[in-house]
Amino acid sequence: MAINAITGQTAGPVADASRAPPQLAKGTTQATATPQPNSTSSAQSTKPAASYSVSISSAARAALAEATETSVQTAQEARRGDLQAQRMLARENAQKAALNS
pLDDT higher than 60, residue 40? no
Name the H helices within 1-101: 39-45, 58-68, 71-79, 83-100
pLDDT in tens, 4-29: 555 555 555 555 545 555 555 555 55
- pTM score: 0.40
What contacts 21, CB < 8 A, 6 or more positions away?
A: 30
**Which DSSP letter does residue 19 get?**
S
